[in-house]
Amino acid sequence: MTATITDIDTLRAQINERLIAIYPTGPGLLTEPVAYIAAGQGKRLRPLLTLLTARACGGSSEVALPAAGAVELLHNFTLVHDDIMDRDQTRHNQPSVHAKWNQSVAILAGDVLFVLALQELRRSATNVDAMSAAFVAGALAVCEGQALDLSFEERSDVSLQDYLGMVDLKTGHMLGLSAELGVLAAEGQEAIVTSVRRFGRLIGRAFQIQDDLLEIFSDAGTMGKSLGSDLAAGKQTYLLIAARERQPEETQEALAAAGDDLERGLSLLRDILESSGIRGEAEELVRRTIAEALAALPALGADQTELASFAELVLNRKK
């Protein structure tokens, strides 16, 4: 399969242009971090999905731009607050907001992003009430997923099923919302809303498992954020849970080593994941989950081509 989103750079540029102009006036302690976040080198996958689903339903990317801006602002709200909770110092190859300013400014900037997202959504020309309801439900699910993620840090009995349930809330609902908003902006049929929402949620699950892989097997320069931060913070990931189930003693040794020397702990964990086959199994799960997502799209007929290409972008991403 070859990517066929021929104007993807143009779509990203439209999204970026909208974000940069989102909050031109206000107190400097708000406008400056918001501008800093908007200028970051994010992949814009979520707003791209909103624009592509709108086009798949016969609408235009232009009519879906407010919804796309809203979902990216919501996503960045979660990132700013996540970085505080995870103590991540880097995001998109630049200091995270709390590292550049301070924690108080970062919390307030995140709050403003959420408000701006709601404001942006209200600028949509179609289905504003339905989009608002979907947005609120999606935002609540993401917060619930983050709460589960935090609670898992205090537990050593988290199962892979527990983890995937959390991912489906925290990451899956965000991408499901992104897809749903695109259909609603284009006034698509309810059957297509259901189909595309499922596509987005499964892509979100695959994305997070892949993110867990990149957190261990990529490098900080490519990822654009602190590598191994999940390990250092004691966060549960698909790989860590699987390693603990299969090789508990060796995994505990790797975690203990990471407390003193993060790179050594990462090296030990990489060896466990490779030798046990967990890395390969996780990579196969990503591929199967994306195939399952694509199976949700036949209701779109020939119009699913760009969404299939979007799934390929996710599958082949390096950061």
- Give me the architecture of the 8-315 domain, per CATH: Orthogonal Bundle (1.10)
- 319: amino acid identity, one letter: K
Single pTM value for the model:
0.92
pLDDT in tens, 145-171: 999 999 998 888 999 999 999 999 999
Task: Give residue limits of the domains in the chain.
Answer: 8-315
Query: Could you please report the per-residue DSSP string of the chain?
Result: -----TTHHHHHHHHHHHHHTS--SS-HHHHHHHHHHHTS----HHHHHHHHHHHHTT--HHHHHHHHHHHHHHHHHHHHHHHHHHT--EETTEE-HHHHS-HHHHHHHHHHHHHHHHHHHTT-SS-HHHHHHHHHHHHHHHHHHHHHHHHHTT-S---HHHHHHHHIIIIIHHHHHHHHHHHHHTT--HHHHHHHHHHHHHHHHHHHHHHHHHHHHS-HHHHTS-TTHHHHHT---HHHHHHHHH-HHHHHHHHHHHHH-HHHHHHHHHHHHHHTTHHHHHHHHHHHHHHHHHTT-GGGGGGGHHHHHHHHHHHT---
Is the pLDDT reported for residue 217 higher than 50? yes
What local confidence, expressed as pLDDT, does residue 1 receive?
A: 41
pLDDT in tens, 177-214: 999 999 999 998 888 999 999 999 999 999 999 999 99
- 5: amino acid identity, one letter: I
Is the pLDDT reported for residue 221 higher than 70? no
